Structure 1
Amino acid sequence: MEADQQAPRYRTIWLVLSFAIMIFGSTLVGVHAWVDQVAKRYGATVETTRERVHSNRLIVDLPRHRHKPWNAPIEEAMYVDYDDVPQVMREALLTSEDSWFFYHPGFNPIAIGKALLSQFGDDPRGGSTITQQIAKQVYVGSRRDFKRKFDELAIALWLEWHFTKRELLEIYFNTPFMGHNTKGLEAAARYYFGYSFKRERAQSVAFTPDIAASLAVTIKNPTSGNPTKPRNMVEARRLLLVMGIQPQVLTEKAVADAKLPRRFARHAFAKDRRLSDQFGSARDLAVERLDEKLRGREARKASLDVVTFYSSETQLYLETAIEKYYPPIRRAGYDRLTAVVVNNASGGVEAIVAPPGASLYPGSTVKPLLSLCAIVEKGWTAQTRVDDSPFGIPPVQNGDRRYLGRISLEQALAASRNPPFVRMMRTFGRGCANDVLTRIDTKFRFSGAKDRSLALGAEPVKLMNLLDAYVTVATCGRVSNGPLILKEARDRGTQAVVLVEKAEALPRNAGLTTAFGTLHAMLQATTGPIGTANGSRFVNDVAAKTGTSDDNRQITLITFTKAYTVLVSAAASDTGKLKRHLSSHVLVKMVRNLNANIHGSKDPGPLGCGPGMEVAGR
């Protein structure tokens, strides 16, 4: 009897539990669908997240910056790995920004509640977790409305589902704006303190808990609370005490001194050149390309978040090589330097010192492009015999005033002999070379002058057109639309993607592939004992071509490996002021130093156009 009376009660309990489970399950399904829908709207993927975190950020308003690109705000990024960041730095960030980071699912209801209450007091605070901050910085943007906050929450949940906590913390090390055009811990540490977290770099500054705290509190107020401001000193000291660490520099007496920042962050005050000053050429090129790509589109009127291929690390290596090796060249009268580094996997410009639309006198660097006609259309090989003998009126001369007679095409290219290539131009005509250049989808053309001048590179050409052709050759046609500078542009208001650029490969063509491989082999000989770029090899597989224009007004060296294409050129704005006429070989040490640094300890691998070479952009 008693059991019969209990039965309805149990049935009721089970019904309530079942209903609760159904409601909970439906809610989970609904939340998951909502998160996926928001993530899809913002184009959130694991690959996109990583790419944006690794990239520098440029804010462009074309109506204002089209003619004044130097006013476009910049955020310089230098990626740092999780393991390179000291434990005290990690703890300072977590204590300052999100002490529950390893325990919450992407949002913290308690922190949100406290943030809401604080809005009615004297010290309003934010309630965003580290994951929500990443969502804001990488995807959602900073527009002020409730819809953005809900989008931020959805993206935060999506991030938590697709990345581990360790991965998210590494992303956070590299995303926040840190003041003075720096983005992330590495760029900020270098700018304010002259310190690098990267293990392979020699350190002249010791990292301390005081520096860690100063960087951590900068995130809350990067403009008026960065390490160059007294406010930062006070906040950093307070954070150290919360962490249970006794400040060494930021003592109570010290932080009361308004001049402390000049001593504590003296690197920021002493440094004449900021990281963003080195971004200048890349920024100007990006704004010009953006204006060109968006012409006639409504997006041209919007304020844009722009991600570029530019790399602060590569640019610093370039600047270091210039500082070390360019002064004696400049003293000789070569007062204009042009330099570009292109990543052969992406086709992107990682470093540049040149104005948009720059031109140069290429000299013999055009000879490999002229040779494409003979190789592709006439069936020539590296061992085809050519005549290095007097030709034309007046006779075409070589730089050493000698002639070698019958030699191979490879030797003619490596030793940069002039008569064989003038003969080639006269025999086959510019049309043959330009037809092949059209087939490889490059903008470079032999046009507008006498054949002799064109064959010897005595007429100015567009820098980017010349590089376009060389990158196509270097990548065996896997990058046919380089050099690129823009990765992506997004409307800052809606975060809608308005422009994406990726490397594009040529259609497969056995004849062109064979020709590219032949040029690889011949240009490798240019870096050997008989070549004009002898000494360029920092690893075995380096191809190169030198170029010295008429009357030595401009000297150029182009090298490529499987990983990078590098161009460095020095010119005299007034040839009458040249104190010494230099050959392009003087650029070898600078370019070898640059190549060794940008490649690091990694061997880029063999040149050639066989199987196994990475396909750009895929």
Structure 2
Amino acid sequence: MSPYDLRLTPEDRPGAVSQHRPSTSRSAKPSRDGSRRTQQTRPRRKQRRSRGGRRRRSLLGRLVHGIFLLGLWGVIGAMGVVGYFALTLPPPEELAVPKRPANVMVVAADGTVLGNRGETRGEEVRLFELPPYLPQAVLAIEDRRFYSHFGIDPIGLARAAFVNLTAGGVVQGGSTLTQQLAKNLFLKPDRTLTRKVHEALLAVWLEHKFTKDEILEMYLNRAYLGSGATGVEAAARTYFGKSARDVTLAEAATIAGLLKAPSRFAPTANPQLAEERAQTVLSAMMEAGFITEEDAKLALISPATVRQRTPGESAGYVADWVYELVPSFIGEVRQDIVVDTTIDTLMQNAAEAALVRVIDAEGKEKGVSEGALVAMDTSGAVRALVGGRDYTRSQFNRAVKARRQPGSSFKTFVYLAAIEAGLTPDTIRNDAPISFGSWSPGNYTGKFKGPVTLTEGLKDSINTVAVRLTAEVGPERVIAAAHRMGITSPIGKNLSIALGTAEVTPLELVAAYVPFASGGYGVVPYVIRRIRTTDGQVLYERRGDGPGRVVSLETVGAMNYMLKQTVASGTGRRAGFEGWPAAGKTGTSQEYRNAWFIGYTAYLVAGVWLGNDDGTPTRKVTGGSLPATVWADFMAAAHDGLAMADLPGEYHPAPSGPMVADSQTLPWMQGQPAQAAARSADPSAPVPQRTGGGLFGRGGFFNRLFGGG
């Protein structure tokens, strides 16, 4: 065959199979220099070429190439998205972790925690202060790879995605503790792509800015754990009545279990679910190697027990009141503080128990739904304060904020003004009908006794005598005496104040009775002894006394003599307890809307109010009935173990003899023989009239007020 023959052989045809056995060598091809060279023959691979002459990739190659390009563009797109959302955040140098809201811990005189107030309801604790199994419980159930990831956990995200995909819904999250902290610190709880990207970016920033321990500490102090508790300290106080520093392993597991759903797993609301969730946490801790199987078994044997709450949780009223007072002493609260109070825990519990017991036993029958009790010592320190029947149902503090008509318990200041004006407990006044214009006050019994001493008038709470005395000394003197003693509410200048129509709070009324127990010294009631930071720096400490002497010792003796008769044989007989020298005054306002008893010993002054928030009348409850019973129950418990002491001041009553119609006249009546004679001859005679203006004149104040002729 000619070497230049160009006809196709069968081997040259597409898909043809060679008919010759290939040789082990190929004919040498001529080289450029004319020489021929040989080469080892190799099986020829079929090269598939496109029509353009380029090689065509296999299907696998094209798939790999496509995946690579898709991944590359995906990374570029993700970086663009991240960059876009990163631009919507503040610059890193401007980012700052917001300060944790300050907590106010309110503490009784013996160190018992009465309550925590503020947004968190618990102080901030350091990680090293906590038992190791508390943070371990949180890590075991929430983020086991916390100390190894960089703020985002790809393994956790992949696991969560797989679980959710197989479950057909979202049943597991992939957020790390750092991401959860970022959300709590900086973001709103809405579920959007923007929030998730911001959460991830901020988590990475937190990991760069803080150590792992610092992040874990912040998380433990800021996680919401149900029932108004933010942080593990608040949760431990709320559910177990102790500090997080002292929780057991079972209690730690219960707290960690709350993170998934605080309301659902709260041991106060669903104890069974809470216990089951705690068991799950213990199992996770054991799997993570934080505790041994023996530790888990011991915790299961002794599960967490929710603290037993008293029926009314009355300490809440004290904590709320103190929280409101704190800024007036130190300004805005910017850090965790501890407020040491004057509250005696035994007295506080006794006060709540006495009030609740009486209302529960007789309140429904007597039409009484609410009450309040205040007790303070002779320095003005509040030792017990109950603002209502049940704090969990109503947080309104009736002891401090409710203004009510005191009824006859205000008569004490009428008699005080009369004694200071020169009368004595033995002075005679006539219990007889009396009128001022169109107003004719009557007595509770509807009867009149005729001539009685001031002692009898006060102990039996005779209205006509109180009104006569107010008219004699003038309402201005009564108001001045009440304000000097401690009443701070405004009092109108009219004769009806003799019957307690001016509204007052239980706190101020009790404070106004303190000078009788202290020997004449007024007080400014207080409950805060000291305010300090958690590291011991004192921000405020009470110093100084009250207003000093506000009434003479002689007058105190006379008043105590009369008020002791009220408890011994008058309207307050039910207030007597265990033979203690005690004095006090009952009070019942119009239509039985308010019932009071305010009384005292040489150690303690206490006041009780019973009634209804809406002002509806009770079923004829008087101050000498249920309030006196509550007062006696409380005072008996409060004086347990104290040495018996008499009230200050002395008064020696005049020898008994024939009762004189008017044994003494007021100094301002002296020098007016005709008027004084008229009063002596007829004690029931109306107040002397003066012509012209003034208080009693024909054109005077009372004439205009009551429409007299």
Q: 1:181 matched to which residue of 2?
A: 237
Aligned twin of 1:523: 563
Compute the displacement of 1:545 (Å): 0.8
**After the TM superposition, which residues 408-447 of structure 1 pair with which residues of structure 2 at under 5 Å, given as runs?**
408-440=453-485, 442-444=486-488, 447=491
Amino acid at match of 2:459: A
* Cα 1:178–1:564 shift into 2, 3 Å: farther
Q: 1:389 to 1:436 in 2, by over 3 A?
A: same
Q: Which amino acid is the alignment partner of residue 465 of structure 2?
A: P
Change (3 A) 1:531 1:326: same
- Report SS of the residue matched to 2:512: helix
Mapped to 1, the partners of 2:249 and 2:544 lie a distance apart of 38
- Judging changes above 3 Å, is the alpha-carbon distance between structure 1 residues 51 and 404 closer, same or farther for their aligned structure 2 residues? same
Q: Which amino acid aligns with 2:321?
A: L
DSSP-derived class of the 2:545 partner = coil
State the 1:488 CA deviation: 1.0
Equivalent residue for 2:370, pick from 336, 340, 346 = 336
Q: Structure 1 residues 439, 342: CA separation in 2 closer, same or farther (over 3 Å shift)?
A: closer
Deviation at 1:255, TM superposition (A): 5.5
> Equivalents in 1 of 2:380, 2:301: separation in Å?
45
Within 5 Å, which residues of 2 pair with 1:182-197?
none
Shift of 1:557: 0.9
Task: Give matches, 1:568-579, under 5 Å.
Answer: 568-574=608-614, 578=618
Which residue of 345, 351, 354 corresponds with 2:385?
Answer: 351
TM-score under structure 1 normalisation? 0.56
Taking a change above 3 Å as real, the CA distance of residues 323 and 375 of structure 1, as seen in their structure-2 partners, is same
Report the alpha carbon displacement of residue 469 of structure 1 after superposing the two structures with TM.
0.7
* 1:323 aligned onto 2:356: yes
- In structure 1, C-alpha distance between the alignment counterparts of 2:453 and 2:250, rounded to whole Å: 62
- Conserved 8 A contact 1:478-1:504: no
Q: Counterpart of 1:381 in 2: which secondary structure?
A: coil
Alignment RMSD, CA only?
Answer: 4.3
Note the residue ranges of structure 2 that are not aligned, 5 or more in a row.
1-106, 125-130, 132-146, 148-232, 256-266, 268-274, 283-292, 389-396, 651-709
Match of 1:476 in 2: 519
Matched residue type, 1:427: E
Query: Is the aligned partner of 1:218 residue 2:246?
Result: yes
1:400 corresponds, among 440, 445, 451, to: 445
SS of residue matched to 1:570? strand
Displacement of 1:359 in angstroms is 1.6
Task: Flag the structure with higher helix content.
Answer: 1
**3-state secondary structure, aligned to 1:585:** coil
Contact kept? 1:369, 1:433, Cα under 8 Å: yes
In the TM superposition, what whole-angstrom CA distance separates every residue of 1:138-174 from its partner, at most 9, and x where no partner exists? xxxxxxxxxxxxxxxxxxxxxxxxxxxxxxxxxxxxx
Q: Is the 8 A contact 1:57 1:308 kept in 2?
A: no
Question: Residue 641 of structure 2 corresponds to which residue in structure 1?
Answer: 601
Q: Which residue of 2 aligns with 1:6?
A: none
How many residues matched?
Answer: 401
Please say if residues 367 and 413 of structure 1, whose CA atoms lie closer than 8 Å, have aligned partners that are also in contact.
yes
In the alignment, the residues of structure 2 paired with residue 398 and residue 444 of structure 1 have an alpha-carbon distance, to the nearest angstrom, of 28
Q: Aligned partners of 1:410, 1:308: CA distance in 2, in Å?
A: 38
1:583 aligns with 2:616: no
Q: Distance in 2 between matches of 1:495 and 1:254?
A: 37
Contact 2:406–2:589 (CA<8 Å) still a contact in 1?
yes
What's the CA shift for 1:368?
Answer: 0.9
Asked if the contact 2:431/2:449 (under 8 Å) is kept, the reply is: yes
- 2:319 maps to which residue? 283
Amino acid at match of 1:582: V
Residues 375 and 605 in structure 2, CA contact (< 8 A), matched pair in contact too: yes
Amino acid at match of 1:475: S
Alignment partner of 1:357: what SS?
A: coil
Check conservation: 1:346, 1:502, Cα contact below 8 A: no
Matches within 5 A, 1:2-17: none
Aligned equivalent of 2:222: none
Change (3 A) 1:592 1:439: closer
Number of the residue aligned with 2:545? 504
Q: Which amino acid aligns with 2:338?
A: D
> Which residue number corresponds to residue 498 of structure 2?
455
Supply the distance in 1 between the matched residues of 2:350 and 2:109 (Cα, whole angstroms). 22
Residues in 1 aligned to 2:646 and 2:536: alpha-carbon distance in whole angstroms: 41
The CA distance in 2 between the partners of 1:273 and 1:596, in whole Å, is 20
Q: CA deviation at 1:472?
A: 2.8
Cα distance in 2 for partners of 1:598, 1:59 equals 26
Q: Return the offset for 1:300.
A: 4.5
* Cross-structure match for 1:554: 594
Matched AA of 2:598: I
My pick for the range that moved more, 516-525 or 458-467, is 458-467
Question: In structure 1, how many angstroms separate the alpha carbons of the residues matched to 2:612 and 2:108?
Answer: 39
Q: Alpha carbons of 1:225 and 1:490: their partners in 2 closer, same or farther (altered >3 Å)?
A: farther
Q: Relative to 1, partners in 2 of residues 1:545 and 1:254: Cα closer, same or farther, differing over 3 Å?
A: farther
Q: CA deviation at 1:550?
A: 0.3
- After superposition, what is the alpha-carbon deviation per residue over 1:472-515, rounded to whole angstroms, capped at 9, x for unaligned? 33222445112x111111244x6432222357244457x62222
Report the CA distance between 1:372 and its aligned residue: 1.7
Contact 1:555 1:584 in 2 (8 A): yes
Structure 1's 525 and 222: CA in aligned 2 closer, same or farther, altered over 3 A?
A: farther
CA distance in 2, matches of 1:568, 1:317: 13
Asked whether the 8 Å contact 1:524–1:543 carries over to 2, the reply is yes
Structure label with greater radius of gyration = 2
In the superposition, the TM-score normalised over structure 2's length comes to 0.49
1:380 is aligned to 423
Deviation at 1:54, TM superposition (A): 4.0
Conserved in 1, the CA contact under 8 Å of 2:530 and 2:542?
yes
State, as a whole percentage, how many aligned pairs show the same letter.
19
Structure 2 residue corresponding to 1:312, chosen from 345, 352, 356:
345
CA pair 216-582 structure 1, distance change in 2 beyond 3 A: closer
Between the aligned partners of 2:648 and 2:109, the Cα distance in structure 1 is 32
Distance, in Å, in 1 between the alignment partners of 2:381 and 2:617 is 37
The alignment partner of 2:596 has SS state of strand
Q: Which letter does structure 2 place at the counterpart of 1:281?
A: Y
Distance 1:575 1:52 in 2: 35
Stretches of 4+ aligned residues off by more than 6 angstroms: 219-223, 225-231
Partner Cα distance (2:122, 2:244) in 1: 23
Structure 1 Cα separation of the partners of residues 250 and 406 of structure 2: 45
Q: Secondary structure at the match of 1:516?
A: helix
Task: State the 1:595 CA deviation.
Answer: 1.0
| Cα deviation 1:177-226 (Å, max 9, x = unaligned) | 997439xxxx98xx69xxxxxxxxxxxxxxxxxxxxxx999369997389
Match of 1:467 in 2: 510
Once the two structures are TM-superposed, the CA of residue 273 in structure 1 deviates from its matched residue by: 4.2
Cα distance, 1:348 vs structure 2: 2.3
1:456, distance to aligned residue in structure 2 (A): 0.6
**Structure 1: distance between partners of 2:453 and 2:430:** 9
Give the distance between the partners of 2:623 and 2:549, measured in 1 at CA: 35
The partner residue of 2:529 within 480, 483, 487 is: 487
The 1-side partners of 2:414 and 2:250 are apart by 53
